[in-house]
Amino acid sequence: MAWGSRGGPRPSLGNYLTCRNWVRPEPFKYIHFPDVKDVGLEIVPTGDGESVSLSTRRPVKGIVLDVEGEEVRWGDQAIDLVPGDPQVVKAIGLKGRSVKARFLGDGTA
């Protein structure tokens, strides 16, 4: 059984994680977001060229991935990411291209 960040069991089915739950205070307008450079979001292509690994030093809400050129079929979008819980996202059609990301509080909105 896997254990969550609060010390309790994480819902799983054998070797498969069935859900994640992360609650951030709302409304978002009252949250002080850290500088983007302090978030430490890393997007690293995996060896197969059709997935990316996401990790962070600070919690990130609503990561949306994108690339230049041909469309990519993403396995997940609007991802919430917390430190110590990296995520791998399938990206059919990525072909090793560089990935851009936007997220809540990144200053692009």
Give the pLDDT confidence of 38-68 residue by residue, as tens digits.
899 999 988 888 999 999 999 898 899 999 9
Structure confidence at residue 70 (pLDDT): 92
> What is the pLDDT of the chain when averaged over all its residues?
83
Q: Is the pLDDT of residue 88 over 70?
A: yes
What was the pLDDT predicted at 39?
A: 92
Query: In this predicted structure, what is the pLDDT of residue 51?
Result: 93
Classified as helix, coil or strand, 86 is coil
Q: Domains (ranges, CATH) in the chain? A: 36-102 (2.60.40.10)
High-pLDDT (> 70) share of the chain, %: 81
* Amino acid identity at 38: D
What predicted TM-score, i.e. pTM, was given to this entire model? 0.75
DSSP sequence for 17-71:
E--------S-GGG--PPPHHHH--EEEE-TTSSEEEEE-SS-EEEEEEE-SSS-
Is 10 a residue whose pLDDT tops 60?
A: no
First to last CA, the chain: 40
Does the pLDDT value for residue 18 go beyond 90? Answer: no
